[in-house]
Amino acid sequence: PTSATYKIAGGLKGKFTSAIGYKFEASYGEEKDKALFALNDYEQNDIYDKGYEKAHSFNVLYDKVNTLTIEGEVLADVSDELQLGLDAAFHNYSTSNEDEAWNLPELEARVFANYKITDKIYTRASIFFIGERNDRVFVPGAFLEPDTYNTVKLKSYVDANLQVSYQFTPQLSFFAKGNNLVGGAYKKWYAYPMQDIQFMLGATYQFDWQ
């Protein structure tokens, strides 16, 4: 299990105006045995005995990681019906044994909006940005040469989502949701392309056990 040795944080919270608030925080902490996900060693000769040998699985590597994080948020209540927000976080990682903090992004950002069309119909929209990440790829050694790893950089990506919900009763609601609306099969993980534009229709029901 991961052990958080310490974390020091400080920040500011307030309002620019009566309708626009902000929050800023900087923190520094140390985690022992932090779980890092890295691509498993896999065969590169198209001969696979097991499914995970085709770059479809991950290894968990534990390391002591020190993290400096600077993050901020701006939230605006434009009206009783519309709320807009922006948050972003920058991370700087320092590892003890591993070459990189595998698959952890240095930059994350999000723009979001909540809009109440009527008392029963409301929408939620968000755009996520995830910065570059590092992973490692196994390179088998040649004759009398040891096996090695190459560090690969995964590209940053943007993902836009939109949901429209209808509150039919206090317990029952219906929704239509679209994910990855900007399209593109970006790779969240190495050799793991995401699906292109996705749509979902559904319903939720909240039971009142009281």
> From CA 183, how far away is CA 160, in angstroms rounded?
9
Low-confidence ranges of the chain (pLDDT < 70): 42-53, 209-210
pLDDT, residue 148, reads: 86
Model pTM above 0.85: no
SS (H, E, C) 4-69: EEEEEEEEEEEECCCCEEEEEEEEEEEEEEEEEEEECCCCCCCCCCCHHHCCCCEEEEEEEEEEEE
pLDDT of residue 46: 60
pLDDT of residue 192: 84
Identify the pLDDT of residue 210.
63
What sign results for the dihedral spanned by CA atoms 172, 123, 193, 110?
A: negative
- Specify the pLDDT at position 40: 85
What pLDDT is stored for residue 28 in this prediction?
Answer: 98
